[in-house]
Amino acid sequence: MREKSQRFLNFFINTPMGEEVLEGTLGGTVAGLSQIGSDNTPEEIALKTLGGIGGGIGLGMAGRRIGANIGKSVHANPLADQEGMLATLGRTLGNKTTVEGMQQQGQMAKRAVQQGLVNNTSAQLLEEALVSPEKFYKSYGIPAEQFKELEPLVKRGQMAAQVSEMYKGLNPERKKELTDKVLKGYKDVENLIVQKASGSIDEQIGKMQKTMNNVMNSNNPNISDTEKKVISQLDEFMTGLNQEASPVTGENVGRFVGRALGDEIGILSGMGAAGLLANQMGLVSPKDKKITKLEEQISQLKKR
């Protein structure tokens, strides 16, 4: 029973088809039930609801595939702006699943926070190096002068350009000697800044995962198997935050657009087709029947 419930939950969370079944069912149900209180008969409302659900699921899946293919053919390369609104929507809703998209968006958010921490940490360490160079060397094992020279490169990520400009005109032997020296110094400074800045984030994520693992492995009868499965999904989600987010391409944007349009068009077209079927089956209200009969009579009069 537990394995079945886990497979059931995993289908709706981690598969594109499961997502579309869930989205189509919810969207079609809401659209169909919104007609309660109108002149439509219960049978017609039920038929339209089923039609909306079927259309939302079917065209939703098709929209994803078609949109992804169009987007890939139009712009297969990564977008120039990876942090704008279009990239955010493409990353969050244009991946294979929404969970994967949210995970990658979380990776971007974590990187942005880390960059802010790097900037703040750089300023703090630079102040230490300026105020007390000897204490700075004793604390971190890096000469204060070396840190002051290399700190801007780490902060702005411009090491390659700076080194290239610095080595113009040097012979190969001198280039190798200085390259080894600068790279070693740069790496030491980079490790110091990044570890002090972002180590706290990884540490907090690790503590949260440890707590969740303790909950999952506990024998607490108040925690259901479904809750443990959700906690397991959160644990996997946070583990993925330590990875690097994939760049957003036209394929992601196309999949997002196709997904959105496919759901909406599918629900509306499904309900429309169901409405026509209900009319043919005589499931419409007496008022609609009367209107249809009058329209037929007017049409016959015009032919005379």
54: closest CA among 298, 302, 287, 270?
A: 270
**CA atoms within 13 A of residue 246's CA, in its CB half-sphere:** 17
pLDDT of residue 214: 78
Q: What is the mean pLDDT of each run of 10 residues along the chain (304 residues)?
A: 66 83 90 81 87 91 92 91 88 87 82 70 75 81 76 57 54 64 60 65 74 74 72 74 82 92 90 84 70 71 66
Q: What is the pTM (predicted TM-score) of this model?
A: 0.63
151: closest CA among 106, 119, 104, 184?
A: 119
Residue type, 287: K
| Alpha-carbon torsion (43, 48, 51, 52), positive or negative | negative
**Which CA distances in Å does 55 have to 26, 49, 256, 269?**
12, 10, 18, 7
| Alpha-carbon torsion (278, 282, 285, 290), positive or negative | positive
pLDDT of residue 183: 52
Task: Please state the domain extents for the chain.
Answer: 15-77+252-292, 99-248
Phi/psi class of residue 5: alpha, beta or left (left: φ > 0; alpha: ψ in -120 to 50)?
alpha
Q: How many Cβ atoms from other residues are within 10 Å of residue 178's Cβ?
A: 14
